[in-house]
Amino acid sequence: MENSKIRKANRKKTSALKHKLERSNKVDGVLQSKIEQSIARAKYVQTARKSGWEQINSKIDILGASEEALKKKSAKEIEREEEDAYVDQFFKGDEEKEDDSNQEVPVTSQGNVFAALEETEA
């Protein structure tokens, strides 16, 4: 019977245990909420980074497609560009020939006009 009686010493021990349990539960609750908040932040950051990379990748794809479209010219466009380059060269050559014919022949001090001509072998 004596064992079943609650004594002062037992009451102190049970009270202290009760307070310890309550305090540890509170601390666990706080820690648990911090852990949950941390996990939520990590998920948010991961999704934000992922969406950022998806946007960057889509921009790269768009830029890459436009560059490929510029690089791929049709056969007609290439032929037209080559023809334009040939015509430009042709007209530049004509302009140079006209410039050569319009040059004045330098007259030597003796008055011999034929001295300015280049000597060519026949």
Q: Percentage of residues in the chain with pLDDT exceeding 90? A: 7
Per-residue pLDDT for 106 more than 80? no
Distance CA 73, CA 84 (A): 16
Question: Which tokens sit at 72?
Answer: 């791929």
**Mean pLDDT (the chain, rounded):** 76
Question: Which tokens sit at 81?
Answer: 């560009």
Going by pLDDT thresholds of 50, 70 and 90, the confidence category of residue 92 is confident
Q: Which of the given ranges, 27-31, 97-101, 118-122, has the highest pLDDT on average? A: 27-31
DSSP-derived secondary structure for 45-114: HHHHHHHHHHHHHHHHHHHHHHHHHHH---HHHHHHHHHHHHHHHHHHHHHHHHHHHTSPPPPPTT--GG
Question: Which tokens sit at 93?
Answer: 């050559």
Per-residue pLDDT for 105 more than 80? no
Mean pLDDT lowest among 15-19, 49-53, 100-104: 100-104
Name the residue ranges covered by the structural domains of the chain: 15-92
The torsion angle over the Cα atoms of residues 60, 62, 66 and 69, rounded to 10 degrees, is 110
